[in-house]
Amino acid sequence: MDSRRNFLQTISASILALSIPRYGFASLEDFNSQPYEGPVLRVAIMGLGSYGTRVAEAMQACKMAKLVGVISGTPSKIKNWQSKYNIPEKNCYNYKNFDFIKDNPDIDAVYVITPNALHHDQVIRVAKAGKHVICEKPMALNAKEGQEMIEACKKANVKLLVGYRMHFEPKTLEIIRMRNEGELGKIMFFQGLCGFKIGDPTQWRLNKQLAGGGSLMDIGIYAINGARYMIGEEPVWVTAQETKTNPEKFKEGVDETIQFQFGFPGGAVASCLSSYNMSNLDRFFLTAEKGFAELQPSTGYGPIRGRTNKGELNHSHVTHQTVQMEKMAGIILANESARVPVNGEEALKDLKIIDAIYLAVKTGKKINLKL
pLDDT digits (tens, 9 = 90+) for 346-370: 999 999 999 999 999 999 999 999 9
Average pLDDT over residues 289-297: 98
Whole-number pLDDT of residue 30: 46
With bands split at pLDDT 50, 70 and 90, how would you rate the model's confidence at 31?
very low
With bands split at pLDDT 50, 70 and 90, how would you rate the model's confidence at 37?
confident
Whole-number pLDDT of residue 315: 95
Q: What stretch(es) of the chain map to CATH 3.30.360.10? A: 168-313+344-368
Q: Could you tell me the CATH superfamily of domain 13-165?
A: NAD(P)-binding Rossmann-like Domain (3.40.50.720)
Q: Does 24 have pLDDT greater than 50? A: no
The full 3-state SS of the chain, as one line of letters, equals: CCCCCCCCCCCCHHHCCCCCCCCCCCCHHHHHCCCCCCCCEEEEEECCCHHHHHHHHHHCCCCCEEEEEEECCCHHHHHHHHHHHCCCHHHEECCCCHHHHHHCCCCCEEEECCCHHHHHHHHHHHHHCCCEEEECCCCCCCHHHHHHHHHHHHHCCCCEEECCHHHHCHHHHHHHHHHHCCCCCCEEEEEEEEEEECCCCCCHHHCHHHHCCCHHHHHHHHHHHHHHHHHCCCCCEEEEEEECCCCCCCCCCCCCEEEEEEECCCCCEEEEEEECEEEEEEEEEEEECCCEEEECCCCCCCCCCEEECCEEECCCCCCHHHHHHHHHHHHHHHCCCCCCCCEHHHHHHHHHHHHHHHHHHHHCCCEECCC
Q: What stretch(es) of the chain map to CATH 3.40.50.720? A: 13-165
Average pLDDT over residues 119-128: 98
Whole-number pLDDT of residue 33: 53
The model's pTM is: 0.91
Q: Does 3 have pLDDT greater than 70? A: no
Whole-number pLDDT of residue 26: 38
Catalytic residue positions, numbered: 137, 222
Average pLDDT over residues 238-260: 98
As a whole number, the mean pLDDT across the chain is 92
Whole-number pLDDT of residue 21: 35
pLDDT: which is higher, 320 or 35:
320
Q: Does 28 have pLDDT greater than 60? A: no
For the segment(s) 168-313+344-368, the CATH number from 3.30.70.260, 3.30.360.10, 3.20.20.30, 3.40.50.1980 is 3.30.360.10
Lowest mean pLDDT across 5-9, 246-250, 285-289: 5-9
Lowest mean pLDDT across 25-34, 45-54, 123-132, 171-180: 25-34
pLDDT digits (tens, 9 = 90+) for 328-343: 999 999 999 999 999 9
With bands split at pLDDT 50, 70 and 90, how would you rate the model's confidence at 2?
very low
